[in-house]
Amino acid sequence: MKTNLASWRDEWGYHLLLLIAVFLMLWPIVFMLSTSLKDLNQVFESTLNPLPFPPTFDNYTNVLENFPLLTYIWNTFYIAIIVTLSKALTSVLAAFGFVYYDFKYKETIFNGMLLTFFIPITVLIMPNYLLMAKLGLLDTPYGVMLPSLVDGMGVFLMRQTMRGIPKPLLEAAILDGATPWQILRKVVLPLIKPSVLAISILFFINSWNEYFWPLLILQDKSNLTLPLALQMFISAEGGSEWGVAMAVATLTSLPPLVLYGFCQKFIINTFMQAGVKG
């Protein structure tokens, strides 16, 4: 009897637990999707029923017609793409230095950089905000970008990936007279391309979804990013526009979701490498 119970637990028990966890995580997304397809009456009559009946696309037409969605998409994209490119570039260059060069205090500098992971964002917000104010970058996209042009986690992940490249490959290139730049471009980068792509996507998604920092910096409506624009439907401006808000939310979360879907394999591999070899 016991063994039966144990085997049931092994076969179904863990799956059941995982299913519950998946449900809990997916529920808000299901809720968002279904609400975006309901009209206002349905939203209040059957709040927890995930099936909109009949489904309506009015919210989406409403958003696309009356809402400067393209401006917000562009604002968000502009910031996300520059932050992503900058973080990817600096991560690869810094990791290359940490892996292939020997210099004084290398480990200390690297450990110092790791320490930055553990500084809570709330501690950084004040000084960063004051700095942006002094630089006159408040209410500009540059004020949003500047503090996030470099990423310690990115350097760490790239370093782990580069350490996985066998040393003789680089020595062979060195013997052939390759300069460090040629080694990076012709040997290292092609080999770590999947990982660079993976962290770039993570950087992009993170920047796309960022809420708190842009909220502090951006004020003018025409400068807002998508997560901030979303806020307009839920707070002061129209507390009851749930359907429209959810339609905007769905549209906002689409690009990161699609990106992740395409590149899931690379992303998981990159973290596995960091875990196994770190």
Partner 1 sequence: MSNVENNNEYSIIFSGVKKAYGKTVVIENLNLEIKKGERLILLGPSGCGKTTTLRMIAGFEEITSGDLFMDGEQVNDLPPGERNIAMVFQSYALFPHMTVWENITFGLQLQKLPKDEIAKRAKEAMEILHLEGYENKKTHELSGGQKQRVALCRALVKQSPYFLLDEPLSNLDAKLRQKARTELVKLHEMFKPTMVYVTHDQIEAMTVAHRIAVMNQGRIQQIDTPYNIYHHPANTFVAGFIGSPAMNILEAQVLNKCLVIGQSAVKLPQSLREQIAAREKVYFGLRPEACTPAFGDAMIKGKVDFVENTGNLQTATLRLADGASLYVQDSHQDAHLEECTGVDFAWENVCLFDAETGVNLELGGK
Cis peptide before 54 (omega within 30 of 0): yes
Helix, strand, coil shares of the chain as percentages rounded to 5?
80, 0, 20
- Within 172-191, which residues bind partner 1 (CB under 8 A)? 172-178, 182, 186-187, 190-191
Nearer to partner 1, 82 or 191 (CB): 191
Q: By rule CB under 8 A, what count of residues binds partner 1?
A: 16
By CB under 8 A, which span of 106-114, 132-140, 161-169, 221-229 interacts with partner 1? 161-169
CB of 191 to partner 1, least distance (A): 6
Q: Which of 74, 171, 211, 264 binds partner 1 (CB under 8 A)?
A: 171
245 near 230, Cβ under 8 Å?
yes
DSSP alpha helix (H) spans, the chain: 2-8, 14-36, 40-45, 58-66, 69-100, 106-115, 121-134, 141-145, 152-163, 167-175, 180-183, 189-209, 212-217, 226-234, 242-277
Nearer to partner 1, 191 or 234 (CB): 191
Q: Name the residue with tokens 């992740």.
A: 260
CB of 271 to partner 1, least distance (A): 22
Nearer to partner 1, 113 or 187 (CB): 187
CA 48 vs. chain centroid, Å, equals: 29
Is residue 107 at the binding interface for partner 1, with CB under 8 A as the rule?
Answer: no
Nearer to partner 1, 120 or 177 (CB): 177
- Within 189-208, which residues bind partner 1 (CB under 8 A)? 190-191
Q: Name the residue with tokens 């502009």.
A: 78
CB of 167 to partner 1, least distance (A): 9
* Neighbour tally for 10: CB within 10 Å: 10
Which residues in this chain contact partner 1 in the complex, by CB under 8 A?
166, 168-169, 171-178, 182, 186-187, 190-191
